[in-house]
Amino acid sequence: MASTFAAVFEIVSFGAIIVLVVLGLGIIASMMGIFNFAQGEFVLLGAYVTYLAYAHGAPVWAGMVAAPFVVGALGFVLEALIIRRFYAAPIVAMLGTYALGLIIRESVRGLIGGFYLTVPEPIGGSIDLGSVHISAWRFTIIVITLLVMGACYLLLARTSFGLRVRATLENPALARASGISTPLIYGATFAFGAALAGLAGALIVPVFSLFADLGIRFLIQGFVAVMVGGVGSFIGPVAGAGLIGTLSAALPWVMSPVVADVLVFVLAIAFIKFRPQGLIAGKGV
């Protein structure tokens, strides 16, 4: 019983991490139609900002608060300078953001070298539930993921900013005619997606430690999750991320990890092939 509970906690906490990473990816893909290959590097940057704050003597949580703002600001600048040119051509956007990601990743690699740098958990220790001990920080990640998810949903569904974003997604020409500044909305959406990635990176760095290829391992998983969930809505990618995250954490418990690893991707691609619209079809929130 105790070990089952530990396994479930493990699976849920990994699922939460994937959801957190995919949230930004999904918002950018759904709202802007761009599959951002640099998203993994935004995660990396968030982790790096947290590490920098820690290395300069600031408390870790301060770095975690700063990370989304720093990465979001960078995202806003990059959108205005570079990403904006790619909206008409999704494939070119992939290549362009790939190049961007390459630049960011290799710059960070140059800065930190080939090391694995550890950052301590701001909330250490474990929570004891009878005979089971679960990591307090991983539990915090689950809670924060739920909060962020709820906040994103409310932002997109209940605020006037969310309405503008959705209007821009639905019909850019009409949105412009109605007086919505679509370039500004695109910029803000991209910055928001980047900030979420930065937050994800900041939160997971105590778990995975900081290394240059941190982002890559999540990128492809994230893409697959977005496709499985369905591009075009907010809920779709989140649902896809939950499914993929849970599946890739759960399958290794019942079969060899190597087979499980590959099986998740094969299943996902097959699923997308036969249901291209994804788990949750349709646009909007």
Partner 1 sequence: MGGASEAVARVGEEPDVVTGESAPAARAPAGQASAGWKVLPIVEGLVLLIALVLPWVLQDYLTVFATRVVILALFALSFDLVWGYAGIMSFGQALFFGAAGYGVALMARDLNVTSILLILPAGTLIGLTAALLLGGFLLLGRYPSSVIFVSLGTLTGSYAADRLARGWYYLGGQNGIPSIPPLTLGSYEFEEGPVYYYMVLGILVVVYLLCRFLVRSQFGLALAGLRENEQRIAFFGYKAQHLKAIIFAVGGTIAGLAGSLYAFHEGFVWPNMLGVVFSTQVVLYVLFGGSGTLIGAVIGTVIIEGVSFWLSDNYRDVWPIILGVLLLLVIMFRPLGLISFVLGERERVGSFGKGPKASKEAGNAAP
Say how many C-beta atoms besides its own lie within 10 A of residue 197's C-beta: 36
Question: Which three-class secondary structure state does DSSP give residue 283?
Answer: coil
Helix (H, G, I), strand (E, B), or coil: what is residue 135?
strand
Q: Determine if 224 is a binding residue for partner 1 (CB under 8 A).
A: yes
* Closest approach of partner 1 to the CB of residue 239, in Å: 18
| Contact between 96 and 86 (Cβ < 8 Å) | yes
Q: How far is the CB of 67 from partner 1 (least distance, A)?
A: 22
CB 256 to partner 1: min, Å: 8
Contact window for partner 1 (CB under 8 A) among 133-141, 160-168, 175-183, 215-223:
215-223
* Residue 273 contacts partner 1 per CB under 8 A: yes
State yes or no: residue 54 binds partner 1 (CB under 8 A): no
- Residue 281 binds partner 1, judged by CB under 8 A: no
Q: Which of 63, 62, 61, 59 has its CA nearest to residue 50?
A: 63
- By CB under 8 A, tell whether 158 contacts partner 1: no
Q: At what angle do helices 2-32 and 160-170 cross, to 10 degrees?
A: 60
Tell me how far, at minimum, the Cβ of 208 lies from partner 1, in Å. 17
As separate numbers, helices (DSSP H) first and strands (DSSP E) second, the chain gives 11, 2
Instruction: State which of residues 103, 147, 184, 255 lies at the interface with partner 1 (CB under 8 A).
Output: 103
Which one of 143, 146, 174, 220 is in contact with partner 1 (CB under 8 A)? Answer: 220
CA dihedral sign, ordered 249, 255, 261, 266:
negative
Round to whole Å and give the CA distance between 227 and 269: 9
Report, in Å, the least distance between residue 257 CB and partner 1.
Answer: 7
Confirm if 16 and 145 have CB atoms less than 8 A apart.
yes
Q: Is residue 272 involved in binding partner 1 (CB under 8 A)?
A: yes
Task: Tell me the residue ranges of DSSP E strands in the chain.
Answer: 126-129, 132-135
Report the C-alpha gap between 91 and 35 in whole angstroms. 9
Q: What is the largest CA-CA distance in the chain?
A: 62
- In degrees to the nearest 10, what's the CA dihedral of 210, 213, 214, 217? -160
Applying CB under 8 A, among 7, 59, 77, 85 the residue interacting with partner 1 is 85
User: Which residue stretch of 128-136, 165-173, 186-194, 264-272 sits at the interface with partner 1 (rule: CB under 8 A)?
Assistant: 264-272
Selected range binding partner 1 among 15-23, 122-130, 201-209, 268-276, rule: CB under 8 A? 268-276
Closest distance to partner 1 from the beta carbon of 199 (Å): 24
- Catalog residues that contact partner 1 under the rule CB under 8 A: 35, 82, 85, 90-92, 94-96, 98-100, 102-103, 106-107, 109-110, 216, 220, 223-224, 227, 231, 257-258, 261-262, 265-266, 268-269, 272-273, 276
